[in-house]
Structure formats: structure tokens, C-alpha cells
Structure 1
């Protein structure tokens, strides 16, 4: 089986590498500095930076997924979920998109029957 790497696959792979390097840089820094990781999450320190990078990379990858998947399924205004994340929270708009995506795939499956 041949593997086909698309630009989108490379984008996701690049984000995965950025997420690994970014988060582990601050995790290692916390270990070297003998920081209390959980306390740092509540106050400040490398743990917060690691967590922030973690969420940022997930939000970027999720935003790309939203745009690509919305186009693939013919969902109008997919970009509004990404804009909405900036106004509310990605923790709100991504699950909302997944719910609407599920509704759309169910709708498309019924049309094919």
C-alpha cells in the first residue's frame, strides 16, 4: 500500500511536531527547575506555558479541520466556528461544530438511501 501525503497531512504533522516540541520544552524546564507542576498551573510558570501551547496547537489544528470538513460536507459558514472561538471559546465551538457535523453526515446518509 502506498502512502499519499497531502499538504493537509503535512500541516497536521507540522502542528504535531510543534506541539511536541513546544510543550516538552516547558515540561523539561519545569523538571529542571524542580517546579510543582500542579501549583504552577494555578499560579504561573512553565506548566502554564506548556498548557497554553498545548491548547493553541489543538485550536489551530481543530480550526483547520473545521474549515476542511465543513467544505467537504457542504456545510455553509464553517469559518464562523473559528471566528466564534475567538469570541467565546474553542471548548464551545469545536464540540458545537462536531454536533452540527454529525447532524450533517446523518442528513447526507439519509439522502443516499
Structure 2
């Protein structure tokens, strides 16, 4: 049991909490949009300049984050990194990116432990 908990550093836990907040927060509003039968994409681009600005802002961050996920996962030998990107289209990048960061932090902690015991 301590083997499982050992790599959950405070930073990894913080990223995991943010992932859960991102999932709950985005899906709450997604549920409202579904119940109200809103045009999700139309609302993103035609609800005024402020919404369009936020949309472009988040889209650019999501693309940059996706590139980071692929590059960093390869560097650390993390498998299935593409799954975080695919899941972001189904859930939200506000969920998958902090989740990736939590798993990345666990990987870094495990690697540090391996170096310490080698």
C-alpha cells in the first residue's frame, strides 16, 4: 500500500484536485447546455467578442498543452499520452491536462526514487 502512495507527492495531489475541479466545472455547464438545447459551438463563436477571445485563448493553450503532453510523455517514457488528448475532446482539457500533470509528477517521483536506490 505504501508503494502506491509513495509517488503521490503534494504537487501530484494538487494537479489531481485541479483535474477533478476541471471535470466537474466543465461538465456542469455542459449539462446545462444540453438541457437548454444550446448550440455549443455557435455559442462559443457568436456570443460576443469576450467569449470569442476566451475561446481562442483556451484553444491556443489546449494546443500548446497537447504538444507538451506528447513531448514530455515521450521524454519520460509515459505510454498512451495520446489518450489524454483524445479524452480532452470527450471530457475537457481542464480535466485531462492537470490529470496528465499529476501522472507526470508521479513518474518524476518514481524516477527520483529509482536513482536514489540504484
Band of TM-score, shorter chain: 0.5 to 0.7
> Residue in 2 aligned with 1:86?
89
> Residue in 2 aligned with 1:48?
51
Aligned equivalents of 1:61, 1:44: Cα separation in 2: 25
1:104 Cα deviation from its structure 2 partner: 0.2
Question: Which structure has more helix as a fraction of its residues?
Answer: 2
Larger Rg: 1
Aligned equivalents of 2:82, 2:74: Cα separation in 1: 10
> Aligned-residue CA RMSD in angstroms?
1.5
Runs (5+) with no aligned partner, structure 2: 1-43
1:44 Cα deviation from its structure 2 partner: 1.9
Report the number of matched residues. 72
Equivalent runs, 1:17-32 vs 2, <5 Å: none
> Residue in 2 aligned with 1:112?
115
* Alignment of 1:62 onto 2:72: no
* Alignment of 1:101 onto 2:101: no
> Bigger relative contact order, structure 1 or 2, given CA contacts below 8 A and separation 6+?
2
